[in-house]
Amino acid sequence: MALTVQSCSQLPTGKLPEYIKSSKSRLYNIIWSSSSPPTNIYIAKKPGDASVREAMIEFINHLHQQYPSINVIVNQEVADELMHELKSTTTTTTKQDSKSIQELMDPLTDHVIYTGKNEDIVDKTELMITLGGDGTILHGVSLFSNVVVPPILSFAMGTLGFLLPFDFKNYKQTFREVYEGRSKALHRNRLECHVIRKQIGKSNDDDAEQEEERTNIKKLKTNGETSIPMPTNGSSDDSKKIKEMIHAMNDVTIHRGSSPNLTSLDIYIDNEFFTTTFADGVIFATPTGSTAYSLSSGGSITHPSVPCVLLTPICPRSLSFRPLILPSSSDIMIKLSESNRNQRIELTIDGITQPDLHPGDEVHITSEVAITSSGASSAGSSTHSGSSSTSTGTSSSSSSGSGSNNSGSYGDKNGIWCVATNQNQWSKDLNSLLGFNSSFRDQKGKKLHL
């Protein structure tokens, strides 16, 4: 058995599928372009877990044996881990209850895996497979923060599993259904976060530069225009002018961190002043993130198909500041008041720390996929191109996640498309993972749901 690692830059550019709305369902059919199944598959795994490593090797072995045309892509850390494990010849490096890579891989097959720079991985990936928990998905998606995300097939091998509908023991059948275009996906929206920094010792030119950034953000949202660079619709120039933009699958959090004083935040909604809050911070969450930090802070649980943005305060000084659910079309701006006694305020996106904010900075937050009143937005099969994505011209309309014909429609390029078992998986997850609405009596050794 030989295992070699090659650069993924030599692989063809990835092609993304189309998502066609299922009749009488909030799920979408995953349709690969020209009936061509995916060839470049990126595998993300939970780090530091021997059982997950064994599962990944078993999965790679299966792909190389049954789907020889598939190219397996991993990040550099995983590639180094596999090569280190392969070169290790002492039994002390392998736990007694785990198998070595030599035992797991077919000795008659030459195995090739691909890795490279993050931008190369993003450019080539057509399907993402995660082995781990919800954190593994968030980490994998963060790689595609400012580009179109490929469809995600997730296997539950971690601690939390709100996003993990599939058991790894059924991986052969599950993958075949995705590969052959017989699977369905649930659309999950992302948030866009744009940061405009106050210029210290600013001049008139700096003021003009800040105003230009604000104008570019507004342009990107005119008529529901996407901020993901797409040269064919003319939005790439404006996108490049925004200095700091990042997308969130779960939430955007502004928090005082280790500073002793409350933060003072001026909140604007749709260009209208809403309120000033003194609090530990605020959370802006997607429906997907409604069961994460927002829930712990008293926010509502929201179905992933509901087009909205959750605004949840963290320990506000005013007891009348309650969590809010805003329409996904809302443009939200948070300005850190100049009266803040804290000179550094933490900004985290999906749990990943970003550069600190300072008094006078602005954070603009909006839903990545805006629902417009102009009807369905056209979308076609996409190809990655660095941080850009192009349309081939094939048009397909995708209705909103709620399945209502009266609401606006999603374009099928943005957001996150998670391979799903059925449209009722969400309610099962609430009951099995949260013990939703269960009494103390039910918790005594009783399994509430199968």
Q: Judge whether 2-188 and 191-197+243-367 match in fold.
A: no
Tell me, what amino acid is at 412? D
And the tokens for 193? 């976060």
Across 242-262, average pLDDT: 88
Q: How do residues 36-68 score in pLDDT, each as one tens digit?
A: 899 999 999 999 888 999 999 999 999 999 999
- On the question of pLDDT at 310 being above 80, the answer is yes
Whole-angstrom Cα distance, residue 377 to residue 169?
Answer: 39
Percent pLDDT > 70 in the chain is: 72
CATH superfamily of 2-188: Probable inorganic polyphosphate/atp-NAD kinase; domain 1 (3.40.50.10330)
Q: What confidence score (pLDDT) does residue 374 get?
A: 38
Residue 428's alpha-carbon distances to 54, 126, 165, in angstroms, are 28, 29, 10
pTM of the model: 0.80
The answer to whether 304 and 27 are in contact (CB under 8 A) is no
Going from N- to C-terminal start, the domains of the chain cover 2-188, 191-197+243-367, 198-239
Residue 399's alpha-carbon distances to 48, 162, 163, 412, in angstroms, are 41, 24, 22, 9
Q: Which fold has domain 191-197+243-367?
A: Tumour Suppressor Smad4 (2.60.200)
Q: What confidence score (pLDDT) does residue 281 get?
A: 96
Q: What confidence score (pLDDT) does residue 107 get?
A: 59
Taking each helix axis as running N to C, give the angle between helix 50-66 and helix 171-179, from 0 to 180 degrees, rounded to the nearest 10: 50
- On the question of pLDDT at 324 being above 60, the answer is yes
Phi, psi of 338 (to 5 degrees): -65, -20
- On the question of pLDDT at 110 being above 90, the answer is no
Closest CA to 155 of 173, 180, 143: 173
Mean pLDDT (the chain) is: 80
- On the question of pLDDT at 238 being above 50, the answer is no
Q: What confidence score (pLDDT) does residue 390 get?
A: 38
Q: Could you list the active site residues?
A: 134
